[in-house]
Structure 1
């Protein structure tokens, strides 16, 4: 029987919300089309942590921030989707940390950073927003010294999107949105990717995801809702989101003081940026769950 958790709205008034993170007692998410990273307290008090509205884009596209992560020294990394660069923010200044142009084959997407400061970055492999046909693509890696590379050893993926790392730091899991599955890869001692296996093949399109301390995945599906799935097994829990208010749940992260609060980013309009900004229906919802995040990432 599937355990159903009720959700409550924490805050709203954003564009398309994405890439939730819990770090050092604070909750962060990307307010994509408002070009910023926002923090929210557990009481719903919001503050802009990083504002990229004044950044001059390196390409003929507006700056859209997506995947984020934190280096061991506390600096924030954020992917600039269209520029194909990783930015680093130290609380006051922002600069390019890694340039992925020439390595990425499409707009870059989500990110997870390991305990050593190594960033694993996903890319769909094609421009979804331009209506391009789906294509396979590898993951990208930015090493702890800032050197970027293509993770060729991991193979290619059918639309890699959200990512998480297990509590022991030995397994990377990514949601393949076009493959309708979750895929797990061994993380070797040097950070390279090893043995690959299917974690969950439920023919469900999952977007953003996180891992709990038991190794199960919470995956946000715009179609099927937010589900907790076991490796090789069924969905054992879900979160009840009111579609009329929340729209679609697209990403999730475990946080709170005990890391048993599931933060869910929800949106209504992803393709029309101006409408998404103007209507401001993007929101954050939370649900209390049974298994904490522990030392998993993000």
Structure 2
């Protein structure tokens, strides 16, 4: 008798996605804000806001920025401060930048804290930002190593949360609607990790929310306690509940779209917006081919006030 692989998604509800927009380099870190989808068009050095019909508008253009260390300004995760300013990670500069609608300034310098490119970010209701980092130079072929989560306070002061231990390629990160939980995807450990969060933003109680069958990337939360995770190697977006069961799956053809990230949006936040692409590791190919896409899928639960 031979063993057969168990399909971890066999009992999940299959949801069919629909393409909304295309023509991006590598679309990442989607956000629902003020009635519209926003995302990083990473290798085009910009943040995009998308109209309902899929028409893109450049909300922040970083293509002419002179970086602090000579590398390209690649935007990653982003969010908004209580005063309305947009803040965004400049991954390879290891800075958090702020944009007031006219000028780009430095909000936080993480170069002394980050051990590799910084990555995604979630901003809480007080303007406190939790930043993930790869921990090593992935694009230069270094071997993976664990690294701390970073926190940037509303005034721009920052520290590494070393008391929580190292995280294995922490990627997507989200805060629950009541602020009591933070979840991050440990990409190189194939797991979703949850922490408790108190009223002052302190994190504790680190534990495994779910083990995944392959690398989890960007994530979002829903009001029923589910975590939606982009899984580009499947390729799919899957909804996990605590303990690891998969309840919903949005599948893609591998030759057309590898989905790294998702967010719940729409008027009732029951539309799953999905970023996808094909050329993440080759910046030049990404810019030449522009095979980045945005997809939508209807879901059964709302994103509520979860962040992002």
TM-score by length of 2: 0.94
Aligned equivalent of 1:238: 249
Q: Deviation of residue 17 (structure 1)?
A: 0.8
Q: Deviation of residue 134 (structure 1)?
A: 0.7
Q: Deviation of residue 41 (structure 1)?
A: 1.5
Cα deviation, 1:139-161, whole Å, max 9, x if unaligned, reads: 00001221111112322111100
Cα deviation, 1:15-44, whole Å, max 9, x if unaligned, reads: 011100001112110001100000102211
Aligned counterparts of 1:201 and 1:233: Cα–Cα separation in 2: 6
Aligned equivalent of 2:66: 56
List gaps (5 residues or longer) in structure 1.
none
What aligned pairs does 1:147-158 form with structure 2 within 5 A after superposition?
Answer: 147-158=157-168
Aligned counterparts of 2:47 and 2:79: Cα–Cα separation in 1: 11
Aligned equivalent of 2:214: 204
Aligned counterparts of 1:273 and 1:233: Cα–Cα separation in 2: 34
What aligned pairs does 1:1-298 form with structure 2 within 5 A after superposition?
Answer: 1-224=11-234, 225-245=236-256, 247-298=257-308
Whether the aligned pair in 1 keeps the contact of 2:45 and 2:61 (CA below 8 Å) is: yes
Aligned equivalent of 2:3: none
Q: Deviation of residue 242 (structure 1)?
A: 3.3
Aligned counterparts of 2:298 and 2:103: Cα–Cα separation in 1: 35
Q: Deviation of residue 48 (structure 1)?
A: 0.3
Cα deviation, 1:99-118, whole Å, max 9, x if unaligned, reads: 11111111100000111110
Whether the aligned pair in 1 keeps the contact of 2:179 and 2:199 (CA below 8 Å) is: no
Aligned counterparts of 2:193 and 2:16: Cα–Cα separation in 1: 28
Q: Secondary structure at the match of 1:163?
A: strand
Q: Deviation of residue 180 (structure 1)?
A: 0.4
Mean CA deviation greater in 201-210 or 120-129: 201-210
Aligned counterparts of 2:165 and 2:98: Cα–Cα separation in 1: 27
Q: Secondary structure at the match of 2:255?
A: helix
Whether the aligned pair in 2 keeps the contact of 1:38 and 1:49 (CA below 8 Å) is: yes
Q: Deviation of residue 201 (structure 1)?
A: 1.2
Q: Secondary structure at the match of 2:188?
A: coil
Aligned counterparts of 1:135 and 1:77: Cα–Cα separation in 2: 27
List gaps (5 residues or longer) in structure 2.
1-10
Whether the aligned pair in 1 keeps the contact of 2:35 and 2:266 (CA below 8 Å) is: yes
TM-score by length of 1: 0.97
Q: Deviation of residue 269 (structure 1)?
A: 0.3
How many residues align? The count is: 297
Aligned counterparts of 2:169 and 2:251: Cα–Cα separation in 1: 26
Aligned counterparts of 1:272 and 1:236: Cα–Cα separation in 2: 33
4+ residue runs over 4 A deviation? none
Whether the aligned pair in 2 keeps the contact of 1:153 and 1:192 (CA below 8 Å) is: no
Whether the aligned pair in 1 keeps the contact of 2:29 and 2:39 (CA below 8 Å) is: yes
Q: Deviation of residue 281 (structure 1)?
A: 0.6
